Amino acid sequence: MEKPVAARAMKMNAPGTWRELKHRLEARRTALNVEIAAYPGPITGCDAQFNHLLELRSGINLELKRLEEAHGDGDKK
């Protein structure tokens, strides 16, 4: 049986949990940045993949911002 939302939210208050989530999002963003930087020049029919990578990175940036705002993270870079 799944725990109630309040119980799950309380677990997120642990500083280590916030750091781990932030670390995972930052690591994924870094990997996407590397992939985007290494992406070859325009190739007909392949721009959809590149745009998808940009959308993923944008979503991760948004999630990091939301995480920092929710946690009141003073460790911003």
% of the chain surpassing 90 pLDDT: 42
Task: Give, as one character, the DSSP assignment of residue 40.
Answer: P
Q: CA 45 → CA 37, 48, 57, distances in Å? A: 19, 7, 21
Burial of residue 68, with CB atoms counted within 10 A of its CB: 0-12 exposed, 13-18 middle, 19 or more buried: middle
CB 68 within 8 A of CB 23: no
Q: What is the pLDDT of residue 7?
A: 46
Q: What is the mean pLDDT of residues 7-22?
A: 70
User: Any idea which of 39-48, 49-58, 59-68 has the lowest mean pLDDT?
Assistant: 39-48
Q: What is the mean pLDDT of residues 8-26?
A: 76
Measured torsion, CA atoms of residues 28, 29, 35, 36, in degrees rounded to the nearest 10: 160
pTM of the model: 0.63
Q: What is the pLDDT of residue 75?
A: 53
Q: What is the mean pLDDT of residues 23-41?
A: 92
